[in-house]
C-alpha cells in the first residue's frame, strides 16, 4: 500500500505544523502525517520546522529562548489566513493526543537541534517520553537529517522504525553504510535528481523508500511506478482516492 504523508500537515490548506493542519488530514482521507520537532529552553518539545519564529509566527527570535508559557502569546496562524488567527505552535504532547483521536500514523522528523548536543540529547529523551502516550496501534517512523542523533534515538528506543533523511546534495555513495550504522529501516531521499537506478539500489539493499517533497501528481505516479513506498507532499488534498483511506 502506497503512503501519502501530509508534509507538515495539510500545509497548503492551513498553517504548516499546526493542529489545524493536522486536523484536516482525516477529512481528506490522509492516514500519515509528517511533523518536525524541536525543543524549547525548558525542555518542552514543540512542532516547528524552523528554530526561529520569524517565518511562521507574528514574532521573531530563537525557539531556544522560549518556555512553554511563551507559546500562549505567539500567533502561528495569522501569517497564513484570517481563519487561523490565534493558532498556536503545538506541543508534541498535543499532537500525540490528536494523532490518537484521529487514528493517524506519524512520521516524527527530529530537527537537528542547533543549540548543541546537550539539548539534542534532551530532545531525544523528551520525544521518547512523549511517544509513550502514542496508542500502540498507531504506526510510527522517526526520521532525521542528523544521523548521529537518529542513531542515538535508535539506541534508546530500538523497536521504533527509523529513517535517514538525505538532501540531494549529501546523498553520496556512503548512504548504505550510514543506514547500516544507524540500523535504519527506511531511506527518505529528496526528490531532486532521484532516478529509478538509485531507487532500485535502495530497494535491493532492503530499504523502504519515502521521497520528499513531491508536489506534482505525475511525478508521484512515476515514483510509485518505480517502487517507492511513499511520498511527502504539501498537496495531499489533490491526490486521487486510490491513495487515500477508503
Ligand atoms: O521529512 C521530510 C521532509 O520534511 C524533510 O525536509 O526541510 O521539509 O523538514 P523538511
Ligand atoms: Mg520535515
pLDDT in tens, 54-91: 999 999 999 999 999 999 999 999 999 999 999 999 99
Q: Look-up: residue for cell 488567527?
A: 85
pLDDT digits (tens, 9 = 90+) for 191-217: 999 999 999 999 999 999 999 999 999
Q: Which atom, in ligand 1's list, is nearest to the CA of 163?
A: 1
Q: Is the pLDDT of residue 168 over 60?
A: yes
Is 90 exposed, middle or buried (CB count within 10 Å of its CB: 0-12, 13-18, 19+)? buried
Q: What is the mean pLDDT of the chain?
A: 97
What is the best residue among 36, 112, 143 to mutate for testing ligand 1's pocket, by most ligand atoms within 8 Å of CB? 36
User: CB atoms < 10 A from the CB of 95, how many?
Assistant: 26
| Surrounding residues of ion ligand 2, Cβ less than 5 A | 36, 109
- Tell me how far the alpha carbon of residue 158 lies from the centroid of ligand 1, in angstroms: 23
- Tell me how far the alpha carbon of residue 7 lies from the centroid of ligand 2, in angstroms: 7
pLDDT of residue 244: 86
In short, whether 165's Cβ falls inside 6 Å of ligand 1 is yes
Note the pTM of the prediction, 2 decimals. 0.98
Q: What percent of the chain has pLDDT over 70?
A: 99
Asked if residues 123 and 110 have their Cβ atoms less than 8 Å apart, the reply is yes
Question: For residue 1, what are the CA distances in angstroms to 31, 58, 66, 228?
Answer: 12, 40, 41, 10
pLDDT of residue 220: 98
In this structure, the residue with its CA closest to atom 6 of ligand 1 is 212
Asked if residues 34 and 10 have their Cβ atoms less than 8 Å apart, the reply is no
Query: Which whole number is the average pLDDT over 163-187?
Result: 97
Q: What are phi and psi of 210, to 5 degrees?
A: -120, 130
pLDDT digits (tens, 9 = 90+) for 232-245: 999 999 999 999 87
pLDDT digits (tens, 9 = 90+) for 6-38: 999 999 999 999 999 999 999 999 999 999 999
Report residue 246's pLDDT band, with 50, 70 and 90 as the boundaries. Answer: low
Q: Which residues contact 114 (CB under 8 A, 6 or more apart)?
A: 51, 64
Asked if residues 227 and 202 have their Cβ atoms less than 8 Å apart, the reply is no
Q: Is 188 helix (H, G, I), strand (E, B) or coil?
A: strand
User: Quick one: fold of 3-51+90-243?
Assistant: TIM Barrel (3.20.20)
Q: Report the b/e string of 172-207 with b at 16+ CB within 10 A.
A: eeebeebbeebebbbbbbbbeebeeebbeebbeeeb
Amino acid at each position: 500500500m502506497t503512503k501519502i504523508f501530509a508534509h507538515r500537515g495539510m500545509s497548503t490548506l492551513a498553517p504548516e505544523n499546526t493542529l489545524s493542519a493536522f486536523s484536516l488530514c482525516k477529512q481528506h482521507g490522509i492516514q500519515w502525517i509528517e511533523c518536525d520537532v524541536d525543543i524549547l529552553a525548558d525542555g518542552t518539545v514543540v512542532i516547528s520546522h524552523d528554530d526561529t519564529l520569524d517565518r511562521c509566527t507574528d514574532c521573531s527570535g530563537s525557539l531556544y529562548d522560549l518556555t512553554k508559557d511563551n507559546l500562549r502569546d505567539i500567533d502561528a496562524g495569522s501569517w497564513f489566513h484570517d481563519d487561523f488567527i490565534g493558532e498556536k505552535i503545538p506541543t508534541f504532547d498535543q499532537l500525540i493526543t490528536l494523532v490518537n483521536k484521529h487514528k493517524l500514523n506519524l512520521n516524527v522528523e527530529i530537527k537537528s537541534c542547533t543549540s548543541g548536543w546537550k539539548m539534542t540529547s534532551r530532545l531525544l529523551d523528551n520525544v521518547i517520553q512523549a511517544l509513550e502516550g502514542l496508542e500502540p496501534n498507531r504506526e510510527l517512523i522517526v526520521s532525521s537529517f542528523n544521523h548521529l542523533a537518529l542513531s542515538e534515538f535508535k539506541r534508546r528506543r530500538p523497536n521504533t522504525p527509523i529513517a535517514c533523511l538525505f538532501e540531494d546534495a549529501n546523498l553520496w555513495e556512503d548512504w548504505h553504510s550510514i543506514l547500516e550504522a544507524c540500523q535504519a529501516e527506511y531511506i527518505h531521499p529528496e526528490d531532486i535528481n532521484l532516478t529509478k537506478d538509485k531507487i532500485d539500489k535502495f530497494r535491493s539493499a532492503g530499504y523502504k523508500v519515502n521521497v520528499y517533497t513531491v508536489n506534482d501528481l505525475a511525478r508521484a505516479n512515476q515514483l510509485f511506478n518505480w517502487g517507492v513506498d511513499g511520498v511527502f507532499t504539501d498537496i495531499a488534498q489533490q491526490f486521487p482516492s486510490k491513495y487515500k483511506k477508503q
